[in-house]
Amino acid sequence: MLTLHNWLSFYEKNYVCVGRVTGRFYGEDGLPTPALTQVEAAITRGLEANKLQLQEKQTFPPCNAEWSSARGSRLWCSQKSGGVSRDWIGVPRKLYKPGAKEPRCVCVRTTGPPSGQMPDSPPHRNRGDLDHPNLAEYTGCPPLAITCSFPL
């Protein structure tokens, strides 16, 4: 649906509307049909989901990753890992998302209050987001290491 929305936005910016085609989305009177209302609602939901996904990417940016047949896998965090610039580095963690088959590697802030903590919340333990319930450490990786290596 969002691809359709992007296409429509392009045409609205670059072309002058000269009318509407009678059919599924507009009646003979030129008014929107219930089908158009449903599509617009789906687009709104998609835009909201994108917004939430971008917010989550700011909180839990993707890890950097590499693999070689000689050294195996390596995951690490930097101030720009996952294409997200920030003032902290973080540590690699597995993020489990409801409905996802596999966790994904994210960089997690290790100091300060948890993300989204309200000002009137109880005092925090200065552990950033390390205590988030959907996170897990990588086996064999020190808890505060910014790089995790998994040799073959």
In this structure, the answer to whether residues 50 and 7 fall within a common structural domain is yes
Domain that holds residue 148: 60-152
As beta bridge partners, residue 116 has: none
In this structure, the answer to whether residues 22 and 67 fall within a common structural domain is no
In this structure, the answer to whether residues 12 and 47 fall within a common structural domain is yes
User: Residue 57, SS3?
Assistant: helix
In this structure, the answer to whether residues 141 and 66 fall within a common structural domain is yes
Tell me the pLDDT of the chain (152 aa) as tens digits: 888 889 889 988 999 988 889 999 999 999 999 999 999 999 999 999 889 888 889 999 999 999 999 999 999 999 999 999 999 999 999 999 999 999 999 999 999 999 888 767 777 788 999 999 999 999 999 999 999 999 88
In this structure, the answer to whether residues 10 and 76 fall within a common structural domain is no
pTM: 0.74
In this structure, the answer to whether residues 45 and 98 fall within a common structural domain is no
Looking at residue 122, the DSSP 8-state letter turns out to be: P
The count of structural domains within the chain is 2
Q: Give 19-42 as a DSSP string.
A: ----SSSB-TTSPBPHHHHHHHHH
User: Residue 135, SS3?
Assistant: strand
In this structure, the answer to whether residues 72 and 133 fall within a common structural domain is yes
In this structure, the answer to whether residues 69 and 141 fall within a common structural domain is yes
